[in-house]
């Protein structure tokens, strides 16, 4: 499906969080499951994405992460101890195991071994960029959190390092929410590792309070906050479990369907449109293909293009034409609450317009006569 010689684009936690937020979108599910580069695909369709991280922001984030993890992660471990586990012994001389291995599967196995050894050692351990695996709709996703800390009691904590500032102890709620959803994916993957390592005994504890590390105020000094992600974890787990398996979606597509950006634009658009999408305005900030899907939704007059809340209020009316027909009394069941509300709104609108027209009187102008409202 990617095309001959096209390498797969790996799923990351950000993509999984976006996929879990819109589990009904089969288009995104099959493209992510097949490892298709949606940004390149959108560019080939003539609707390139308009979001992304600038090179400057990327370099600034890397520099801040390096500072947080300097000296064997001493500052990072101090923040974990201070914010999440003050009753434990101070993290002096923590272990930082080497997690390098061949390929993502090798790194996943090496990470699991390091977690097992750290839990048995009974001290502080910092895993820098471990590799985790999570099955998503029948397709493996390899995830790489910024860090995972193993506590002396054997518990595991996910650490998210972000470059947006924390002003007076609080950060932008939207950015914190996005980081929490991303961390929830890591926690789910860690829980699978813990279940496999448990054997007949109790599995290691995966903490549902993660550490969010950000620059303090307008400096480059790190500060941190504990974020409870139990709600995000539950929502993400439920949404990921609802995803249709990739092979089921692929079985409904025409034989030979391919999403290679090298294909002619018409053929590529036909392949993409063969997979149903579930567009909503929220997709614009999370999906590279959102502009193409928005254009298609507007062409078809889909109510979903106006937002999920409105779509939910209109019930079975899925197109703008159906909504207007119901409002004008040309179609729709009068006993349907949505239809009744639309017709009442149309009556109120007509009354308001009639009152506005009645208040409009001609005003003698100096030049050509122009109607004006009094």
Q: Give the residue-averaged pLDDT of 320-331.
A: 86
Backbone angles phi, psi at 297, to 5 degrees: -65, -40
Is residue 162 packed enough to be buried (19+ CB in 10 Å), middle (13-18) or exposed (0-12)? Answer: buried
- How is 193-245 classified by DSSP, letter by letter? HHHHHHTTSPPPPB-SEEEEEEEBTTSS-EEEEEEE-HHHHHHHHHHHHTSPP
Where does the pLDDT of residue 364 fall: very low under 50, low under 70, confident under 90, or very high at 90 and above?
low
Cα 111 to Cα 105: distance, rounded to the nearest angstrom: 10
Range of weakest confidence among 23-32, 103-112, 184-193, 222-231: 23-32
C-alpha distances (whole Å) from 95 to each of 64, 195, 302 are 21, 23, 55
How does pLDDT run across 7-23, given as a tens digit for each residue?
A: 888 777 878 888 777 87
- Of 211 and 313, the structure prediction assigns the larger pLDDT to 211
Helix and strand numbers (H, E) in the chain are 14, 9
For the whole model, what pTM was predicted? 0.74
DSSP state of 335: T
Q: Give the residue-averaged pLDDT of 89-118.
A: 91
DSSP state of 158: E
How does pLDDT run across 140-160, given as a tens digit for each residue?
A: 789 999 999 999 999 999 999
Q: What is the share, in percent, of the chain residues with pLDDT greater than 90?
A: 37
Mean pLDDT across the chain: 86
pLDDT at 242: 75
pLDDT at 372: 54
pLDDT of residue 85 exceeding 60: yes
* Number of other residues whose CB lies within 10 A of the CB of residue 141: 23
């Amino acid at each position: 499906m990617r095309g001959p010689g096209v390498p797969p684009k790996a799923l990351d936690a950000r993509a999984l969080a976006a996929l879990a937020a819109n589990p009904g979108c089969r288009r995104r599910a099959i493209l992510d499951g097949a490892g298709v580069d949606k940004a390149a695909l959108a560019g080939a369709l003539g609707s390139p994405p308009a979001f992304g991280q600038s090179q400057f922001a990327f370099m600034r984030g890397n520099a801040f992460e390096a500072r947080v993890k300097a000296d064997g992660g001493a500052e990072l471990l101090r923040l974990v101890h201070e914010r999440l586990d003050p009753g434990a012994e101070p993290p002096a001389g923590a272990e930082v195991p080497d997690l390098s291995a061949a390929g993502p599967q090798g790194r996943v196995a090496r990470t699991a071994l390091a977690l097992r050894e750290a839990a048995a050692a009974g001290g502080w351990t910092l895993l820098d960029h471990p590799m985790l695996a999570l099955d998503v709709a029948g397709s493996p996703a390899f995830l790489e959190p910024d860090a995972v800390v193993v506590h002396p009691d054997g518990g595991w904590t996910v650490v998210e390092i972000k470059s947006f500032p924390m002003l007076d102890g609080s950060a932008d709620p939207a950015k914190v929410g996005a980081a929490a959803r991303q961390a929830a994916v890591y926690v789910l993957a860690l829980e699978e590792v813990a279940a496999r390592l448990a054997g007949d005994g109790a599995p290691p504890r995966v903490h549902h309070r993660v550490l969010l590390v950000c620059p303090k105020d307008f400096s480059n000094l790190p500060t941190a906050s504990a974020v409870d992600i139990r709600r995000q974890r539950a929502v993400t787990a439920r949404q990921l479990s609802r995803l249709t398996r990739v092979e089921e979606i692929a079985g409904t597509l025409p034989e030979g369907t391919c999403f290679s950006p090298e294909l002619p634009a018409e053929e590529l658009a036909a392949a993409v449109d063969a997979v149903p999408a579930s567009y909503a305005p929220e997709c614009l900030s999370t999906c590279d293909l959102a502009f193409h899907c928005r254009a298609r939704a507007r062409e078809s007059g889909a109510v979903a293009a106006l937002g999920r809340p409105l779509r939910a209020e209109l019930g079975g009316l899925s197109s703008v034409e159906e909504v207007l027909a119901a409002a004008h009394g040309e179609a729709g069941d009068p006993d349907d609450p949505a239809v009744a509300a639309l017709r009442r709104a149309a009556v109120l609108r007509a009354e308001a317009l009639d009152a506005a027209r009645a208040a409009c009187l001609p005003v003698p102008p100096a030049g050509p006569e122009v109607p004006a409202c009094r």
